[in-house]
Amino acid sequence: MKLLEVRKLTVHFYTYAGVVKAIEDVTFDVYRGETFALVGETGCGKSVTSRAITGLIESPGRIVGGEVYLYRDGEKLNLLALDEEELRKIRGREIAYIFQDPQSSLDPLYTVGYQVGEAMYVHGRVRSLKEGIRKAVEILRKVLIPDPERRVKNYPHEMSGGMKQRVVIGTGIANEPKLLIADEPTTALDVTVQAQILELLKKMKREYGLSVLLITHDMGIVADMADRVAVMYAGRIVEVADVLTIFKNPMHPYTIGLLRAVPNPLKKIERLETIPGVVPSLINPPSGCRFHPRCHKASDVCKEKIPELRVVEKDHMVACHFPGD
């Protein structure tokens, strides 16, 4: 059953250098109880997509097209048609965010208990801030922070990066949202803490029945966490499939190149393959398929016509004129 439906979402940034076409015609669905990964290299539009879902695009950015629908209680709600006050009621309550830098997500002037409690209070989950802070102790315990009765009185600077990320996850799940958007939640953490945070996300997903929109550039995290995957390149979705299909039968040349650039411990490879060329400017993106200047299969039609995201086999969509290896 669908929880979120994104259709032809388009965001432009109006800068002195020109119009940055950050994302164009982005389309995907997130189903209840699944982890849907949005993967691609830095600057491809993953974070812009996640923020645009609830209208978190600041000037000089502007959502110039598309629809985002949230399904709740038999109702199909167009998020982009809501005013700011209505969106604020949905952010944190029905759709929660975990951003990649926990330091910038927490206010240094308030204790972590106050911040978790405030998130519940403003959305009416508790009757007072004092009750919210009491409940914050239990939230911190759930996200595996030791000695939560003492830690609830700590300020962010008194905690490690891993601890702060746990607090941010606790704030995210405090209101029991339907959708948790995790924007590269392990980027600033070392490998051991990364593994702990990913296990915690799996635990919270099972416990609360969450759907997770996971944004990452790490294919290892995708393999470990995702049920379905959308691959982005230069502001466009180029392939959507379940995680097994993406790894076993990728069909877009960019996805194939991305996977061949990842070390495989089961194969003896002396030299990893690379994708030639550079990421295009989104002020003046290439005509037709944005990947064609770097694609070994490109022909004239690729330079002239934008490929549509179409079904090539069951539950597998590709935006390519010549899909397959």
Condensed to tens digits (0 to 9), the pLDDT of residues 294-314 reads 998 899 999 999 999 999 999
**Of residues 162 and 117, which shows the higher confidence score?**
117
Does residue 3 register a pLDDT over 90?
A: yes
How far is it, in rounded angstroms, from Cα 14 to Cα 59?
A: 8
How far is it, in rounded angstroms, from Cα 208 to Cα 23?
A: 31
Residue 102: its pLDDT value, please?
79
199 with 205: CB under 8 angstroms?
Answer: no
Residue 325: its pLDDT value, please?
66
Does residue 165 register a pLDDT over 90?
A: no
The per-residue b/e assignment along 241-263, b for 16 or more CB within 10 angstroms, e otherwise, is bbbebbbeebbbbbbbbbbeeee
* Whole-number average pLDDT of the chain: 91
Residue 293: its pLDDT value, please?
93
Phi, psi of 318 (to 5 degrees): -140, 140
Judge whether 30 lies within some domain.
yes
Residue 81: its pLDDT value, please?
92
Judge whether 63 lies within some domain.
yes
How far is it, in rounded angstroms, from Cα 198 to Cα 207?
A: 14
Q: Which of 39-43, 246-250, 265-269 has the highest mean pLDDT?
A: 246-250
Does residue 100 register a pLDDT over 80?
A: no
CATH number for the domain spanning 60: value is 3.40.50.300
205-264 per-position pLDDT tens digit? 988 889 999 999 888 899 999 999 999 999 999 999 999 999 999 999 999 998 888 777
Judge whether 134 lies within some domain.
yes
Phi, psi of 103 (to 5 degrees): -60, -40
Judge whether 183 lies within some domain.
yes
Judge whether 270 lies within some domain.
no
Domain count of the chain?
1
Judge whether 50 lies within some domain.
yes
Does residue 319 register a pLDDT over 80?
A: yes
Q: Please provide the size of the chain in residues.
A: 325
Task: Using alpha carbons, select from 228, 273, 271 the residue that is nearest to residue 254.
Answer: 273
How far is it, in rounded angstroms, from Cα 38 to Cα 27?
A: 11
Does residue 1 register a pLDDT over 90?
A: no
Judge whether 264 lies within some domain.
no
Percent of the chain with pLDDT over 90: 66
Does residue 20 register a pLDDT over 90?
A: yes
Residue 103: its pLDDT value, please?
80
Judge whether 39 lies within some domain.
yes
Lowest mean pLDDT among 21-30, 94-103, 148-157: 94-103
The domain of 186 spans 2-226
Separation of first and last alpha carbons in the chain: 32
Residue 269: its pLDDT value, please?
67
49 with 23: CB under 8 angstroms?
Answer: yes
Give the pLDDT mean for 131-143: 92
Report the 10 Å Cβ neighbour count for 78.
12
Does residue 107 register a pLDDT over 80?
A: yes
Q: How confident is the model at residue 266 (pLDDT cuts 50, 70, 90)?
A: low
